[in-house]
Amino acid sequence: MPAGSRVIFISTTVCHFSSVTPNYLVYAATKGAVEQLTRVLAKDLAKSGITVNAIAPGPTGTELFFKGKSEQLVNAIASTNPFGKLGTPEEIASVAAFLSGDDSKWIVGQVLRVNGGMA
């Protein structure tokens, strides 16, 4: 990769909850590995002018998120957010766009929790 390149991993806010249910064990563990990869790889690639960061979205209104969830459950999850809503794909994408640009060139090795203050 040339200098100035950006690596942006996707993690999850689930990694930052203490009340994760057992059915999320593998998901949380693999995303935890992504977060550690972000920190370690960032230190290695920074000397080449490449930034490495991750975005950890909270519950986001996507087709996959809604799959298998009742409207009541979705509303309950949304109500735990200070804004009282789910995130949108566009809100996550805007952070990725920021991390891809020149204004973020001093941000490296970070996991940005994009969750509306949920965690």
pLDDT for residue 113 is more than 90: yes
**Model pLDDT, residue 106:** 96
Categorize the per-residue pLDDT at 36 as very low, low, confident or very high, splitting at 50, 70 and 90. Answer: very high
Whether the per-residue pLDDT at 85 is higher than 90: the answer is yes
pLDDT, position 38: 98
Looking at residue 31, its pLDDT comes to: 96
Domain-wise residue ranges, the chain: 6-114
pLDDT of residue 76: 95
Of 93, 100, 94, nearest to 52 by C-alpha is 100
DSSP classification of residue 10: E
Q: Please determine, for residue 17, whether its predicted confidence score (pLDDT) is greater than 90.
A: no
CATH code that applies to domain 6-114? 3.40.50.720
Sign of torsion, CA 78 65 42 37?
Answer: positive
pLDDT band at 59 (very low <50, low <70, confident <90, very high): very high
The pLDDT value given to residue 99: 98
Chain centroid, CA 24 distance in Å: 16
Q: What does the pLDDT read at residue 89?
A: 98
Please, is 70 exposed, middle or buried when counting C-beta atoms within 10 Å of its C-beta (0-12, 13-18, 19+)?
exposed
Query: 15-45 b/e with 16+ CB inside 10 Å = b?
Result: bbeeeeeeeeeeebeebeebbeebeebbeeb
Catalytic residues: 27
Q: C-alpha 37: how far from its chain's center?
A: 14
Of 71, 36, 73, which is closest to residue 56 (Cα–Cα)?
36
pTM listed for this prediction: 0.92
Residue type at 119 in one-letter notation: A
What pLDDT does 14 receive?
Answer: 92
